[in-house]
Amino acid sequence: MRIATWNVNGIRARLGPVTDWLRDRAPDIALLQEIKTQDDGFPREAIAALGYEIHTHGQKGFNGVAILSRLPVSDVMRGLPGDEADGQARWIEATVTGTRPVRVACLYLPNGNPAPGPKYDYKLAWMERLRARARAILASERPAVLAGDYNVIPTPQDARRPEAWAQDALFLPDSRAAFRRLEHLGLYDAIRLRHPDGGHYTFWDFQRGAWERDDGIRIDHHLLTPQAADLLTDAWVEREMRGGERPSDHVPVWVQLDA
């Protein structure tokens, strides 16, 4: 089972690159963030024609997440529990069944800038809700993958120039501490398991020639339950997508499970 996460930065703006990627790379499961459309505006026909079942949790012009699967999907849940007043579309999860069932969650964690401020408070509160949901998923003792744009640079080795991010919400101590609390529940960072060295960036800003200078950061992650980590056979970053036509500022990140 190959699971890719990709912040596409607007599904309609990048439908061509996305459908080409789905056709050429054929992930079993694609978890998309920042689709930036309501559910009824998602371009279902073009993607369904490639053999994908589609589940979305959309929002007009902002946010939005989607699960695309070539495998059977069941028990879909939209919205991160813990705050009924939160109308932002940032979470969708479901069970996908290959040779065995795997619970997958697609998330778009708040950016949090400017920090300090209400947006940063929302980010940290959202991460606490995520921790509560992760604890419940872990309690099921089954393979699960929590993947997406976490908007957190976990360690200095996850940035080409960590000093440039010192005052940014993505790298502030409280953000990194909240990410560590997720790991301390018993979740495993897939890329870190397979590639303990640095330099495996997933995001390059559109400004200041960041891509050309490889001035990147790693903020797109797969966190695995122990049962999923036991099935992990590979994890990688598809960095070449950043140099393609009409690229997103993020690239796909992959895991392969024996499932």
Q: Which of 57, 200, 222, 250 is catalytic?
A: 250
CB 232 within 8 A of CB 194: yes
Task: Report the C-alpha gap between 119 and 46 in whole angstroms.
Answer: 35
Q: Is 200 a catalytic residue?
A: no
Q: Which of 149, 158, 189, 220 is catalytic?
A: 149
The phi-psi region of residue 63 (left if phi > 0; otherwise alpha if psi is between -120 and 50; otherwise beta) is left
Cite the annotated binding site for Mg(2+) by residue number.
7, 34, 149, 151, 249-250
Q: Is 108 a catalytic residue?
A: yes
Q: Which of 28, 52, 57, 108 is catalytic?
A: 108
Q: Is 39 a catalytic residue?
A: no
Q: 115 is written with which tokens?
A: 């920090």
Task: Report the C-alpha gap between 257 and 143 in whole angstroms.
Answer: 10
Task: Report the C-alpha gap between 78 and 135 in whole angstroms.
Answer: 17
Task: Report the C-alpha gap between 13 and 82 in whole angstroms.
Answer: 32
Q: What residues have CB less than 8 Å from 16, skipping those under 6 apart?
A: 245, 246
Task: Report the C-alpha gap between 50 and 40 in whole angstroms.
Answer: 19
Task: Report the C-alpha gap between 226 and 34 in whole angstroms.
Answer: 28
Bridge-based pairing state of the strands 144-149 and 101-108:
parallel
Cite the annotated binding site by residue number.
7, 34, 149, 151, 249-250
CA angle 218, 136, 90 (to 5 degrees): 45
**Would you name the residues annotated as active-site residues?**
108, 149, 250
